[in-house]
Amino acid sequence: MGEIEWKLKQSGDFRPIKIQVPKNYMIEKE
């Protein structure tokens, strides 16, 4: 999840929240 938070922050749309996504989401975004 840290990687997703990093991407959001890089996009300038970072929010200090816990993002919960299915495992397949992480794989697809890899």
pLDDT score at 18: 61
* Domain boundary assignment for the chain: 1-30
Question: In 1-27, which positions are buried (b, 16+ CB within 10 angstroms) versus exposed (e)?
Answer: eeeeeeeeeeeeeeeeeeeeeeeeeee
Whole-structure pTM value? 0.21
d(CA 3, CA 21): 12
Would you write out the chain's pLDDT as a tens digit for each of its 30 residues? 567 666 766 666 656 556 666 666 555 555
